[in-house]
Structure 1
């Protein structure tokens, strides 16, 4: 009987260990560590004040995408070079916001830090 209990305990331990999330790129907790830059607290207002005029729910002025939601902005950082586009120098034809002027470096640095901190929403 003791052997059966030991086997059952061992089996349960192995089973539970196999259920862990080993993908470190996906945070287990969607809330950012204290002091981190987050979308809701820091980045949303930057996007709203500088990008939404063209990147609205229905994009205008030739904008190819909407930047209204957290998911859309995160996707733009990860797959559409948003940080590169806002970091270009005045006069570059692909600088965003379109036609410039370039956002202040301090503002760009907040978006860069958001990416570095893990692109947390809140």
Structure 2
């Protein structure tokens, strides 16, 4: 009876499995929640909710000057305050948002800019 060695086959499969699905940066990721036009409701609301609300809540904390909990508040911050500038600053730069945190991934910043450039649709 002939013995079949499965070890090399499983080893090769394991190497391909482990190293074949690599991702070098978050900018490579596809946002599966992104559907159609970039609007506040279907795109940017979740970015603000997940990254800004800890300080920019209905009652702002940690020195945040205004809430970013609704479309009207966020729209106002884009139009009358330096929100786009603050989220675009390099990691660790003075005034970079989120304050004391990690800069948003460039793909998320790009979505916010696209939303603003398209007229801030709700």
Determine if the TM-score, normalized by the shorter chain, exceeds 0.5.
Answer: yes
1:61-72 equivalences under 5 Å are 61-72=62-73
Gaps of 5+ in 1: 1-33
Query: 1:91 offset after TM fit, Å?
Result: 1.2
The equivalences for 1:1-122 within 5 A come to: 35-121=36-122
Partner SS state of residue 112, structure 1: helix
Distance 2:107 2:36 in 1: 17
Instruction: Give 4+ residue runs of structure 1 displaced > 6 Å after superposition.
Output: none
Per the alignment, in what secondary structure is the counterpart of residue 41 of structure 1?
A: helix
Contact 1:39 1:120 in 2 (8 A): yes
Q: Which has the higher contact order (CA 8 A, sep 6+)?
A: 1
- Structure 2 gaps, min length 5: 1-34
- Name the TM-score, length of structure 2 as normaliser: 0.69
How many Å apart are 1:101 and its aligned residue? 1.1
Cα displacement (A) at 1:36: 2.5
Aligned residues: 88
